Structure 1
Amino acid sequence: MSESAKQGEVLVRAESVSKLFSSRAGETLAVDDVSLDVRRGETVGIVGESGSGKSTLARLIMGLQPVTSGRILFEGQELSAMTGKAQHALRGKMQMVFQNPYGSLLPHYTAVGNVAEPLRLHNRGTRESRRAKALELLELVGVNPRFADLSPRQFSGGQQQRIAIARALALEPDLLVCDEPTSSLDVSIQAQILALLEELRGSLGLSCVFISHNLAVVERLADRVAVMRTGKIVEAAPTEQLFADPQDEYTKTLLAAVLPVRA
């Protein structure tokens, strides 16, 4: 099938997904009967306040946590049914960018070593070709290759997040899940990272799930927005429609609290 024919196909589907956590304090339903599609070439924003379940949903989509009920499908295959080689191969197609870039990078590896590590783990290329690919990716995300052999702690927070994005792109994934990737950065750096993700999405044809507590952040990137509250999706609509005519009172409250993020 041609790439143009693939556009609009459902890449990831969550079907009636719930996630229940149990502890000594009791049980918490973090995700409650959520259904959501992400199509090829599309960016879906998931917004909500802290504790709304959006980050848990992101981890369920990535297969980092098992669902309690319902199912997650990637290219029509159920994640929980995959084992061994199929599961390992899937990891190359789904990558995640986390909120804290320094915490997600390997501190004892250099910048280029961090970016090359997924290629090594998936046995792609030679040591020399992996380094060459990693240097290309660092340059793509705006990190000067001259500094490739520095450790993550020698970079600013914004540069660390660029390195983390380069690492996430190393395996040429179909899906990029970004969990609050700008919330730990100051506003001017947030705008730079958003502009970078916007550019990469267009040039690489990525499908994205973008998690944020701020609707202004996803407004720039998302084709559709799902609003979560207490584990449920309370409203979902194309971005322009949701901003122009929100239906749920909670969405209206979030919009009233929007802080603009500009380049």
Structure 2
Amino acid sequence: MQDNDKTTTPEQPDTFEVVEAEHRTGARHKGVYLLPNLFTTGALFAGFYAIVAAMNGLFEHAAIGIIVAGILDGLDGGVARLTNTQSKFGAEYDSLSDCVAFGVAPGLVAYSWGLSELGKFGWMAAFIYVACAALRLARFNVQAESTDKRFFIGLPSPTGAGLVATLVWLGASRGMDGNDISWLVALVVAGAGLLMVSSVKYHSFKELHIGRVPFKVLLGVIVAFAIVFLDPPLVLLTVAIVYVTVGLLMSLWRLRKGS
């Protein structure tokens, strides 16, 4: 799960996306690129669904909704680049969708599942996450053109959302009441939020390109999918924890090497 930078290319129109078409009447009509924005809308809907599901106590469904939003978010930027339909409108729409799917939704889902009985401390932890997610997205939009594309500065918001969602998914799938581990949930939620606005570098994997690959790579992907389907919440939570931990350890190593 990663942030996308759908920047406008020189060849594309720079209006409300904005593509202007002149019909026989001579009138000019404005529109948006449909395909990539459909994926963005799907991610937005998945985030909205997660909130509604959590309100109805369907925490597994809510967590899966956030995971689906992450998958769709990872696709919209790639589709835009492949079809040469990148745009300023798409970038702004994607950012707003991310704020709902990876900011508001995980915070509310975590609060409903395991933070409500902490009172003010519970909603404070949830709000820290939501506010940090919004700040993370705003900072990414500002710095996207000037940072090293190989790394994200701070934990990517889809990964932070995935960490929170898979924790809820794992607990709910085991019949666990999140309020029994409320302080752990608060630590994970607030910690994920603070990591999003930290200066810790996380690998973006953007240098990897989908194309012709050796057969063993395809076999590895198949094996990876099989492992995930053995126990999706446990495996995905483990992957998220490893990703977060590796980023922290690498940052500590760089600090020690610099000193």
TM range (shorter): under 0.3
Higher helix share: 2
- Structure showing greater radius of gyration is 2
TM-score by length of 1: 0.25
- Normalising by structure 2, we get a TM-score of 0.25
Q: Which has the higher contact order (CA 8 A, sep 6+)?
A: 1
